[in-house]
Structure 1
Amino acid sequence: MPLHAITALPGGAHLGLWHLTEAPAALWLQLADAPAYVLLLPARADGLRQAQWLAGRVLVQQLLAATATPASPLRNDDTGRPFLAGPGRPPAVSLSHSGEWVAALLAPPGTAVGIDVEIVRDKAQRIGPKFLNQHEIACLPNIHLANSDPCAASIALFSLLWSAKETLYKLAGRRGIIFRENLLLDLPAGPWPVPGRLSARLSLATGISRHQICYLRPAAGYVLTYCYQLASS
């Protein structure tokens, strides 16, 4: 069973990582209440996408068991955001998958959560001006990642920044977000260690909130970011 890790985080949150090696058929066998999920499977989810979708639900199932939380069915709201449809106030949850890795964040009820895992590739660099604002782009020459290959370091940096904004977008949990205007990253000069933290702000009509995005590399060629804001904080 490729459950890679379940890590307890401050405030009662838990991070789960799944290294995907199974075909969909093997994952269906691990999923409790599989018949109910047949009806929820996205119509275009076949092959790898179906395996990723199923592994995410098996991973959440594992997180609930590891935290002695009653099992709850995982659903998606009309924006596509996952939620646990259990009685009372079930935990908050966020999911992400890319390539061979699936990640989930489980947190106490009422917590704003976001998680994203990405393959490190040049796509984020190519679309950089679409999700980074002018101030963020101006900060890039002063940032260095621990990599002897400047090209590879640049690709890793853009992948990390894209992932960070995806995480912040999920944490915001609303429509109409403009990545360059509403999701703001504070990019300090100097080397960035891995793992680390990145300061960020959500700038919405209701005001500005500050957040700390955690980042790490679950495996070579991947980057993962996550963030959560407890209801009481």
Structure 2
Amino acid sequence: MALAYHREIDRNTSFAIWKIEESADELLAQLQLKEHELSYLDTLISGKRNMHWLSTRVLLRRMMDTDNYIDCKVDSSGKPYLSNFPHHISLSHSYDYAAVMVSKSKAVGIDIELVKDKIERIAHKFLSKEELDFIQDKNRIDQLYVAWCAKEAIYKLHGKKNISFLGHIKLEPFEYEGSGSFDAMLNTGTRHSKFKVHYEKFDGYMIGFVADDNEE
């Protein structure tokens, strides 16, 4: 497993991207899994889904830099959390890459996606008319992926079900520049928050990430 990219956001927050090059057995050998985790692995279809689960846990172990067992669980909404460490985490994966974001002080969200033209067909399902209006013809596919990754990152940070990309998360207009940041709003009726979303393109993939600065 090769570290492809690492970025520190602040003294307490960082994320890393790893290229998945090992076999499932090689990844498994780097983990300290309990019986319930091994049982869950058995329910996953072998192949990418199995490799993605293993690779995000291996990368998490590297980022935590500990020899202790890491109890990574998911809550009732499917949000991953650590029961024996105080850190906030977010996990993502796409094809040959795994992504993990970790913070000691704030909720975080990260998404990585392989850029493909097919996103054009579903853009209207996750972007409002106002948001579609600021998507430019130049770099259109890349900008659509930034929008998707931004909303997915906020969704993961919030960590609750029944959140609509189209109805609850609004992006402020931005121009695509390969990497950058822009404002976004989450309005669920019970929560109204503003976030600064960041994005970068890496090796044909789009990365979107966000941290809840209100929690510091």
TM-score (norm 2): 0.91
User: Partners of 2:183 and 2:67 in 1: how far apart?
Assistant: 31
Residue identity matched to 2:12: G
| 2:214 is the alignment partner of 1:228 | no
User: Partners of 2:202 and 2:67 in 1: how far apart?
Assistant: 25
Determine if contact 2:107/2:215 at 8 Å carries over to the other structure: no
Listed one character per residue, the Cα deviations across residues 133-153 of structure 1 (whole Å, up to 9, x for unaligned) are: 11101222xx36xxxxx5xx2
Higher deviation after alignment, 34-43 or 176-185 = 34-43
User: Partners of 1:84 and 1:186 in 2: how far apart?
Assistant: 32
User: Partners of 2:33 and 2:131 in 1: how far apart?
Assistant: 46
Determine if contact 2:3/2:18 at 8 Å carries over to the other structure: yes
Residue identity matched to 1:106: V
In the TM superposition, what are the counterparts of 1:1-233 in structure 2 within 5 Å? 1-33=1-33, 35=35, 37-41=37-41, 43-65=43-65, 71-86=69-84, 90-109=86-105, 111-140=106-135, 143=136, 150=138, 153-188=139-174, 191-219=175-203, 221-230=204-213, 232-233=215-216
User: Partners of 1:105 and 1:13 in 2: how far apart?
Assistant: 7
Closer/same/farther in 2, CA of residues 50 and 162 from structure 1, 3 Å limit: same
User: Partners of 2:98 and 2:63 in 1: how far apart?
Assistant: 13
TM-score (norm 1): 0.85
Closer/same/farther in 2, CA of residues 196 and 50 from structure 1, 3 Å limit: same
Determine if contact 1:11/1:230 at 8 Å carries over to the other structure: no
Secondary structure of the equivalent of 1:175? coil
Closer/same/farther in 2, CA of residues 160 and 108 from structure 1, 3 Å limit: same
User: Partners of 1:230 and 1:45 in 2: how far apart?
Assistant: 37
| Gap regions ≥5 residues in structure 1 | 145-149
CA shift, 1:106, in A, is 0.3
| Gap regions ≥5 residues in structure 2 | none
Determine if contact 1:103/1:117 at 8 Å carries over to the other structure: yes
User: Partners of 2:98 and 2:202 in 1: how far apart?
Assistant: 10
Closer/same/farther in 2, CA of residues 42 and 214 from structure 1, 3 Å limit: farther
CA shift, 1:41, in A, is 2.1
Determine if contact 2:6/2:17 at 8 Å carries over to the other structure: yes
Cα RMSD (Å): 2.1
CA shift, 1:216, in A, is 0.8
Number of residue pairs matched by the alignment:
216
